[in-house]
Amino acid sequence: MIVEKNETMPVRSAEDVVRVRREVRERAVAIGFGLVDQTKIVTAASEIARNTLDYGGGGELRLELLRSGARRGLRLTFTDRGPGIPDIERAMADGYTTGGGLGLGLSGAKRLSNEFDVRSAAGEGTVVMLARWK
């Protein structure tokens, strides 16, 4: 598998979240994702970007264009140095929320992605990776 392209952008403000959605959409279109796949990854990105901002105190997103044989994919890695998630399993359970939201951020984003991974611990920040393949 090759990483064809690689770019980073900040996720530190509400405007950044809007920008993240726009950039992810553009990359998804460039790879040739159909409308439904585009929508899925943009929505997943929106959820995690929001988490990064609201719970992680802001962070950054790395966007990578992947290629594996004839398949192309888009991988998003959100990183923050916030308080971290002490109990990842609980956070991934539907409906669980500490912030009064609908509690779907992590689990929802996972369902919308082909690949998904969360690394976090209390006090150690959080890294969320999600990818979608064509």
Partner 1 sequence: MEQIPILMVGDCLLVSIQVDMHDQLALALQDSLMTKIVDSNARGVMIDISALQFVDSFIGRLLNNIASMARVLDAATVVVGMQPAVAITLVELGLTLSGVRTALNVDKGLALIRRIIDGEERELDRREK
Q: Does 112 bind partner 1 (CB under 8 A)?
A: yes
**Nearest distance from C-beta of residue 10 to partner 1, angstroms:** 15
Q: Could you say which residues in the range 29-48 bind partner 1, by CB under 8 A?
A: 35-36, 38-40, 42-43, 46-47
Nearer to partner 1, 67 or 107 (CB): 107
Shortest separation between residue 79's beta carbon and partner 1, angstroms? 20
Q: How many other C-beta atoms can be found within 10 angstroms of the C-beta atom of residue 5? A: 12
Please, what's the b/e burial string for 73-112 (b: 16 or more CB within 10 A of its CB; e: otherwise)?
bbbbbbbbebebbeeeeebbeeeeeeeeeebebbbbbbeb
Q: Which is nearer to partner 1, 46 or 77 (CB)?
A: 46
d(CA 76, CA 62): 6
Does position 14 interact with partner 1 (CB under 8 A)? The reply is yes
